[in-house]
């Protein structure tokens, strides 16, 4: 038998340095004795003997070992079928055990030329269905197709449980010029662990987790796990259809932000963590009790360090294994939807950690990040910054966002640290950053990414929310892309949060000198679609719990916190509150301990929880509190100038201007007689009072309400005379 075996190719395959071992291995058409035949070559280290099993002619032919390392060659006659379907490899290992297998190098790539072209253009939004590990049936044999983008690698082997972490027989094939490596491994199965063993151009070998892996080992272990995502049966059709048909910005939104590992804990679980399914039932019951419309989960993608709270992500496509499997997490989302609760997650495209098994220098080069540390390293967090100007990196991030919306039915993404993405000089001194092509500080590539992300998310998944944590005055964050904006649905109002908390920390006797801090937000309240956040950031790093930040003695701290929440819930904008704040937890948040649920045995803490429940129900029941959150048409000051008494009064309107509510706030611990002008001669029923004894207040109020009088006040012909409770908010509905 004479064949043209490329000896240098054999050597490179055995050494593991061949970037496309398929040029040597697998089936190759040759001419033998004037007839066309099929030469099959295989590299199977650790084998005693290998045979070709001719499926068409039912013949078994021994293969010739042409290198002692385990390199074989054999001939198979060509029949009427395709060469890659004509044979199997029968392998006897060193222990004499015999198995039959599909030849990995006889299987055509899963990715098409069009897939690779779109990925190179940065527009293959479903690339996660091609890259990574995907179960595949080839000629009746089930295996796993592995694919990874690593254009600068010298060679790559896929290693795992299926080959005892010896990748010599599973060297991947490189598709040039895309830089994508691919291989079908017939021995691989769901549940097995794997990594990519990458030989960089400098000859160093590194084992990397799969950037597109759907699941991973429980940290601190770092291998990816072969997973099928299509096994879960969804039953949230009504929710999904309603979500697509409705405008979420005209709906009530009250978000309960939580960290799954510390909301509630179970000593029976690993590190005290509960499973996603357990959490599902308990969090739904709790949201139904407290009235929150959505939950927002701190990052649930896989992250190596629990103390990063998920904001230093390694497995962007992998649900964290801390709390269960992908099916478990789908159960959580599905159960929330069945009970009318939306699910938002935090998404972190701003940076990624330097862990060796992750994205950093993935193929031995700066692939996902910039080579220049002035562009590629974040000075505050010790992390790497994505190279948004690279098409494939931008595609990776946008496809990841769409993946969560598609595969997990997520209702929205809160994008973390947007400000750090928008500015090239973010947290950098002079000389530590590189200007854009126009000499400016704006990160044009990141702007392109954010606009493309928002455009695709809203086009492909109508009704989802995209929310920016953006702390600067960047214009048009929540304005449409076609109008020059970034395209987000909502922007966190960090200015409102900072000003309001600063005001609430002042002793009430001094608040008249800081009146502008509580009113300033209404000057710009309608320049963006704002959400009002009191997030986890406000109860960490030595800031203390919210109740501890309030001014005054114990009674005043609780009254101030009730006042803060009531003012927040009646202020224009969607709402977000971090877990534990709704019960006035005293401790600063600790990710290794659960909320101080035992505090609920005290009336003032239980009263705070009841207050939040009633505020959420008021929000859902009163269109004037949610329908016109982003336009001055929905808000009108009655009195914002009474700094001496530290009082405020305003009106909130629904789309139907005949539907409105009057809100009055007293930011001092003094009961005040307060005459306030009103638009109509009516009976004003008191429908909410944060000073109610039901919430732990002093029960000062105007129950059941007050009749308007023809006494001019605040530029109006009618007015009502109220008793304003101390440190409280009251809401009145006119009844004509």
Q: Which one, of 450, 212, 477, lies nearest residue 349 by Cα?
A: 450
**212 domain residue, yes or no:** yes
Please say if the pLDDT value at position 1 is more than 60: no
Contact 733, 704 (CB under 8 A): no
Neighbours of 632 (CB within 10 A): 12
- Do residue 314 and residue 429 come from a single domain? yes
Q: Which domain holds residue 89?
A: 7-106
> Residue 332: in which H helix or E strand, if any?
helix 326-338
Residue 132 falls inside a structural domain: yes
Among residues 106, 136, 166, which one ends one of the domains? Answer: 106
Question: Is 476's pLDDT higher than 70?
Answer: yes
Tell me the per-residue pLDDT of 82-121, one tens digit each, with 9 for 90 and over.
Answer: 555 678 999 998 888 999 989 999 998 999 999 999 999 9
102 and 117 share one domain: no
> Which segment of 46-55, 114-123, 234-243, 403-412 scores lowest on mean pLDDT?
46-55
Residues 716 and 696 occupy one common structural domain: yes
Please compute the mean of the pLDDT values over residues 626-639 and round it to a whole number: 98
CATH classification at residue 169: 2.60.40.10
Host H or E run for residue 647: strand 647-653
| Residue 736 pLDDT | 79
Instruction: Supply 473's token pair.
Output: 């005055």
**Which CATH number does the domain housing residue 677 bear?**
2.60.40.1180
Confidence of residue 143 (pLDDT cuts 50, 70, 90): very high
Residues 273 and 292 in one domain: yes
CATH of the domain at 481: 3.20.20.80
Q: Which residues are catalytic?
A: 416, 469
Last residue of a domain, one of 85, 106, 127: 106
Among 54, 81, 106, where does a domain finish?
106
- Picking from 728, 731, 720, the residue whose alpha carbon sits closest to that of residue 674 is 720
Question: Which tokens is 452 given?
Answer: 């493309």
The number of distinct structural domains making up the chain is 4
Same domain, 119 and 216: yes
pLDDT per residue over 304-328, tens digit each? 999 999 999 999 999 999 999 999 9
Q: What is the pLDDT of residue 77?
A: 67
80 has pLDDT over 50 = no
CA distance 437 to 226: 43
Tokens standing for residue 38: 């099929």
- Whether 183 is covered by a domain: the verdict is yes
- The pTM (predicted TM-score) of the whole model is 0.95
Q: What is the pLDDT of residues 443-463, one digit of tens each?
A: 999 999 999 999 999 999 999
Q: DSSP readout, 422-457? A: HBTTTT--TTSS---TTS-SB-HHHHHHHHHHHHHH
413-424 pLDDT, tens digit per residue, is 999 999 999 999
545 lies in a domain?
no
329 domain-assigned: yes
Q: Considering only residues 138 and 663, tell me which one the structure prediction assigns the higher pLDDT.
A: 663
Predicted pLDDT of residue 117: 96
Do 36 and 143 share a domain, yes or no? no
Residue 504 belongs to a domain: no
692 and 708 housed in the same domain: yes
In the chain the first and final C-alpha atoms are separated, in Å, by 102
Task: Please indicate, yes or no, if residue 616 is contained in any of the structural domains.
Answer: no
Is 500 among the domain residues?
no
pLDDT above 90: residue 62: yes
pLDDT at 4: 61
> Both 283 and 368 in a single domain?
yes
DSSP labels, 169-221: G-BPEEETTTTEEEEEETT--TT-EEEEEEE-TTS-EEEE--TT-S-BPSTT-
Say whether both 207 and 168 belong to one domain: yes
Residues 67 and 125 in one domain: no
Distance CA 702, CA 684 (A): 10
| Residue-wise pLDDT tens digits, 556-582 | 999 999 999 999 999 999 999 999 999
Q: Provide the 10 A C-beta neighbour count for residue 94.
A: 9
Cα dihedral 215, 233, 279, 467 sign: positive
Residue 83, pLDDT score: 57
Are 532 and 493 spatial neighbours (Cβ–Cβ below 8 Å)? yes
- Let me know whether 151 and 279 are in one domain: no
Residue 199 has pLDDT above 70, yes or no: yes
Residues 452 and 339 in one domain: yes
710 close to 718: Cβ distance less than 8 angstroms: yes
**pLDDT tens figures, 525-537:** 999 999 999 999 9
pLDDT digits (tens, 9 = 90+) for 479-502: 999 999 999 999 999 999 999 999
């Amino acid at each position: 038998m004479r064949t043209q075996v490329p000896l240098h190719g054999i050597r490179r395959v055995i050494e593991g340095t061949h970037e496309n071992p398929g040029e040597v291995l697998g089936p190759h058409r040759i001419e033998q004795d004037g007839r066309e035949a099929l030469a099959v070559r295989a590299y199977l280290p650790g084998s005693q003997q290998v045979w070709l099993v001719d499926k068409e002619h039912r013949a078994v032919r021994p293969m010739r070992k042409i290198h002692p390392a385990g390199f074989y060659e054999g001939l198979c006659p060509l029949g009427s079928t395709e060469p890659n379907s004509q044979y199997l490899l029968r392998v006897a290992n060193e222990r004499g055990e015999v198995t039959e297998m599909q030849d990995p190098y006889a299987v055509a790539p899963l990715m098409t030329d069009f897939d690779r072209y779109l990925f190179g253009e940065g527009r293959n939004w479903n690339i996660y269905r091609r890259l990574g590990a995907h179960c595949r049936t080839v000629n009746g044999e089930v295996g796993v197709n592995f694919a990874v983008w690593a254009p600068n690698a010298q060679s790559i082997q896929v290693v795992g449980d299926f080959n005892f972490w010896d990748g010599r027989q599973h060297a991947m094939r490189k598709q040039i010029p895309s830089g994508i490596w691919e291989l079908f491994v017939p021995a691989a199965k769901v549940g097995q662990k794997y990594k990519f063993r990458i030989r960089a151009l400098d000859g160093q070998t590194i084992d990397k987790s799969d950037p597109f892996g759907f699941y991973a080992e429980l940290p601190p272990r770092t291998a990816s796990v072969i997973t099928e995502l299509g096994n879960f049966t969804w039953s949230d059709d009504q929710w999904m259809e309603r979500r697509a048909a409705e405008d979420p910005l005209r709906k009530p939104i009250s978000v309960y932000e939580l960290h799954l590992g510390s909301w509630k804990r179970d000593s029976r679980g690993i590190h005290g963590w509960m499973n996603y399914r357990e959490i599902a039932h308990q969090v739904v019951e709790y949201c139904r009790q407290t009235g929150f419309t959505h939950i927002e989960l701190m990052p649930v993608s896989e992250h190596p360090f629990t103390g990063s709270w998920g904001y230093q992500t390694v497995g962007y496509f992998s649900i964290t294994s801390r709390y269960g499997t992908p099916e478990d997490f789908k159960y959580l989302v599905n159960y929330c939807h069945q009970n009318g609760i939306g699910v938002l997650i935090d998404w972190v495209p701003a940076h990624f950690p330097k862990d060796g098994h992750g994205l950093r220098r993935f193929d031995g080069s700066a692939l996902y990040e910039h080579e220049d540390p002035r562009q590629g390293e974040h000075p505050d967090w010790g992390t790497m910054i994505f190279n948004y100007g690279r098409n494939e990196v931008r595609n990776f991030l946008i496809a990841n966002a769409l993946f969560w919306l598609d595969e997990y039915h997520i209702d929205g993404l809160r994008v973390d640290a947007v400000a750090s993405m928008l500015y090239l000089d973010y947290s950098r001194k002079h000389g530590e950053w590189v200007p854009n092509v126009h000499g400016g500080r704006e990160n044009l590539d990141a702007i392109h990414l954010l606009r493309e992300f928002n455009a695709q998310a809203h086009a492909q998944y109508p009704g989802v929310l995209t929310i920016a944590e953006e702390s600067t005055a960047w214009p048009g964050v929540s304005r449409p892309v076609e109008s020059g904006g970034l395209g987000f649905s909502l922007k966190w109002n960090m200015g409102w949060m900072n000003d309001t908390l600063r005001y609430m920390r002042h002793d009430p006797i001094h608040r008249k000198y800081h009146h502008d801090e509580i009113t300033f937000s209404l000057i710009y309240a309608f320049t963006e679609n704002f959400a009002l956040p009191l997030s986890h950031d406000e109860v960490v790093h030595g800031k203390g719990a919210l109740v501890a930040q309030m001014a005054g003695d114990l009674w005043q701290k609780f009254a101030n916190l009730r006042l803060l929440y009531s003012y927040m819930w009646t202020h224009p904008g969607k709402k977000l509150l971090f877990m534990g704040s709704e019960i006035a937890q005293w401790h600063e948040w600790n990710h290794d301990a659960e909320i101080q649920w035992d505090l609920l045995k005290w009336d003032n803490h239980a009263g705070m929880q009841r207050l939040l429940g009633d505020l959420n129900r008021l929000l859902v029941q009163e269109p004037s509190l949610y329908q016109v959150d982003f336009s001055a048409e929905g808000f009108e000051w009655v009195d914002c100038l009474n700094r001496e008494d530290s009082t405020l009064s305003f009106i909130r309107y629904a789309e139907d201007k005949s539907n409105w509510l009057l809100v009055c706030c007293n930011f001092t611990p003094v009961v005040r007689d307060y005459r306030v002008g009103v638009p109509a001669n009516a009976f004003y029923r008191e429908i909410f009072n944060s000073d109610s004894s039901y919430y732990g207040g002093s029960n000062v109020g105007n129950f059941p309400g007050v009749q308007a009088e023809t006494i001019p006040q605040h530029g109006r012909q009618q007015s009502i005379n109220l008793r304003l409770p101390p440190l409280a908010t009251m809401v009145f509905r006119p009844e004509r």
